[in-house]
A and B are shown apart, each in its own frame.
Chain A
């Protein structure tokens, strides 16, 4: 049961400069939409103290953690200096307006 591309929803369901959450077998995954429309998927835990990044403020291709303001790069998951740490990212692609995440679990999908 290797990783599969899984349909998690439509592009327009993610608010611009915002995020939505997915519950997965791996824990929560946050899907972000930047101001320019690019989408990113990351595990929803800040490298600092596991703050929920989905609740943070999105600007450029970064999100500012709501707990102590670490700034996390959405593409790489890396914390911006002077802070140091990394949140795992999840591969994401869009096909015909549908968001697909590359996740290990093949069983899907409850839309909500």
Chain B
């Protein structure tokens, strides 16, 4: 049979999703040709935001590569714009005057950004935020310190602002309205969001109307209607989008704001269908992907000639993709005379929740700071569920409202509850794919169901469903074993130690069936740490199970010599300490003295035999080990803060010293670095530390999980607190939970990446009792941990054999 011809105009998210759905239903029905005016394959437009901020590269966001098109026999015409439709002859005409015939035509031309028609808008540094070229244009200007003005405080504008800020630009957001993202947020949540972004250094000008863009050849600034001006090197316009209807309209297809379609996504010409941001359906134009994917399903069925349920519209929910800011809104969150509001507000904790209720139905929700219950609320809205009975507890989320323990949440989810909002994937569909196809990893679930394949916010939930579906045992087995000596994963081992009261490495190995007599260099240090953490004070640290640096309390160097780093609390030192350091350098002929990246002084090239004597001299001047070698607290980096700096808001140096005094000596799964900056300028580079404090006039922003090493990761926000005492409490609690739950050699960044910031925040911020208890356990463990290892060894009271020769021969 001769194949029918399908022509697709628009190689974007909606068009290609429709093709994917069609290939599932009727792989051989059509000969497909796709036209795209962008010069690249189909990619995840949503992910342009993390691409701008540097969290992802283009390769990471490609959805279908060239091989996919080829494998499915699709003729891909990139960089080719379609300029006309000849409906009578059923063919399209390209800009290059080529004519291509069709039996069915799919218009998925998307939308384009609105460019304000102000003087200067034509300058090359005025860009919109829509495609990969726009990102490239922004990055061409985005030097650290350069100034960007983003016009538009909606989702797109804020994601652009955050991305440019992450690139080191000084960013101002200009917004017409009083509230940020006013179409998705109420005033209270908008204000919290603004505060959080201000803490990152983004400035705001609200109620500002742009008059003109200044500059002759290049952008130099922006002027507002009230006469105010800002300097600028880059202007980003994110003031809205407009459906691309011209092609359809010129072809005689009925359009209003968008291309008009019916419930089968057919246009006024039944041979022509249309999906995506270019359409108007039942009066509505959409700007999010969830509706497009719903449309794609129905449209594909129509193209395949199958009966299917009609498309009746999509209720959408919004999340902002700014790392560290949790925000969720759905439905009618403003309300009206006939609705009531239930509000929970913990401004200091950075949490705000509002539910809008009409009678016994939930009709809208705004969540800020804690969004774990978002999908559940959303489901109640979509289903029009009767929440009358739950109402008194509704604001506390699903666990409380339904009287369940935490952890049952997956079991309690109904099968048709939507997990992935972007792709409209329900829990039932995920479970089915897992059981029917035998899936065992998140990537497989993603590939088979598309759940978490778009914005990725639901990955945590998908992972939980996977674990729940496979059953705990299977997941334990699937967890990577500690090393080749054992079949058990880290969590299983930690659990066994605590639950079975195992107190030594040989005991653990015997109880858990280790395959080797005394383990290896991977598992022994891990077991030693797990035991130390489980039985503080009682467990005797097993020196032969420590790697050399932690055994001899110095860093081994390439030539077998060692380095010595004394602790300089919070980066502070004194003439007396510096003099003692200088004397030690002379006395022991230490070849290199270096200032380190963590605000300490490193003495490099010390012979092992000299270590105790070097330490003794440093001890005599009041200095102790800086633990520069430890899987433990390394350094607390500080800036000068209020004491000297004209911008300082709090005593950042003093607070850093207090943090270091509280936490030194603690053993942790991997090294821990902290920092305190006195204001959002962040001179202590706190946002790449494991635990970070940024002082503001209002108090202290606490951030966690940053890493500046092999895989750069900015911190996630934990919360804001008002006093130094609270900083110490949250810090201790956070570290203790990290100590107790992370895998050995897992930095906080990797740990949070694995378990999710929500989990950590729920413990440290969400529940004061849990926090205080964890802080208490930390302090208790510190009682026996804070012993200067140098002093013990300088006095020859410990491990003398390490530093002395057995003998000399010849």
B-binding residues in A (CB < 8 A): 6, 8-9, 13-18, 20-25, 29, 31, 34-36, 49-52, 55-60, 64, 66-67, 69, 71, 101, 103, 105, 107-112
Contacts and interface: CB of A to CB of B under 8 A. Distances in A.
B671 interface: no
A36 B807 contact: no
B801 A20 contact: yes
B521 interface: yes
A49 B547 contact: no
B808 A112 contact: yes
Contacts of A71: 521
A60 B805 contact: no
Contacts of A59: 516-521, 524
Interface residues of B, number: 27
A13 B806 contact: yes
A8 B543 CA distance: 24
Contact of B805 (A18, A23, A55, A109): A23
Given A13-B806, A16-B544, A22-B807, A36 B521 contact: no
A66 B806 contact: no
A17 B544 contact: yes
B809 A103 contact: yes
A108 B521 contact: no
Given A107-B810, A112-B805, A55 B556 contact: yes
A66 B558 contact: no
Given A57-B547, A67-B556, A31 B810 contact: no
A57 B521 contact: yes
B524 A22 contact: no
A36 B517 contact: yes
Interface of B: 516-521, 524-525, 543-549, 552, 556, 558, 560, 801, 804-810
B545 A49 contact: no
A66 B807 CA distance: 22
Contacts of B558: 49, 67
Contacts, number: 104
B574 to A, nearest CB: 34
A111 B807 CA distance: 5
B465 to A, nearest CB: 38
A56 B546 CA distance: 9
B165 to A, nearest CB: 39
Contact of B810 (A15, A20, A108): A108
Given A57-B524, A59-B520, A64-B521, A15 B806 contact: no
Contact of B807 (A60, A105, A112): A112
Contacts of A110: 807-808
A22 B805 contact: yes
A28 to B, nearest CB: 9
A56 B519 contact: no
Nearest to A69: B521
Contacts of B543: 18
11 contacts: A22-B805, A23-B807, A24-B808, A24-B809, A25-B810, A55-B548, A57-B547, A57-B548, A58-B544, A66-B556, A71-B521
Contacts of B806: 8-9, 13-14, 20-22, 31, 112
A8 B808 CA distance: 8
Contact of A15 (B520, B524, B560, B801): B801
A39 B747 CA distance: 37
B809 A60 contact: no
Contacts of A22: 805-809
A105 B810 CA distance: 6
A93 to B, nearest CB: 16
A23 B805 CA distance: 8
A20 B809 contact: no
Contacts of A29: 809
Given A9-B806, A35-B517, A59-B516, 10 more contacts: A15-B544, A23-B805, A49-B558, A56-B548, A64-B521, A66-B548, A67-B556, A69-B521, A107-B810, A112-B807
Contacts of B525: 57
A59 to B, nearest CB: 5
A51 B560 contact: yes
Contacts of B521: 56-57, 59, 64, 69, 71
Contacts of B524: 57, 59
A105 B808 CA distance: 12
Contacts of B801: 13, 15, 18, 20
A52 B805 CA distance: 14
Nearest to B547: A57
A66 B808 contact: no
Contacts of A18: 543-544, 801
A74 to B, nearest CB: 13
Contacts of B810: 24-25, 103, 105, 107-108
Residue from B517, B520, B558, B808 with most neighbouring chain A CB atoms (10 Å): B808
Contacts of B517: 35-36, 59-60
A19 B271 CA distance: 83
Given A35-B517, A57-B524, A59-B516, A8 B544 contact: no
Given A17-B518, A59-B520, A64-B520, A9 B556 contact: no
A94 to B, nearest CB: 14
A56 B547 CA distance: 7
Contact of B809 (A14, A36, A66, A105): A105
A24 B810 CA distance: 6
Most chain A beta-carbon contacts within 10 A, residue among B543, B558, B809, B810: B809
A69 B520 CA distance: 11
B341 to A, nearest CB: 60
A107 B520 CA distance: 38
Contacts of A112: 804-808
Nearest to A55: B548
A13 B544 CA distance: 15
Given A36-B517, A49-B558, A52-B560, A57 B805 contact: no
A51 B544 CA distance: 18
B550 to A, nearest CB: 11
A60 B524 CA distance: 12
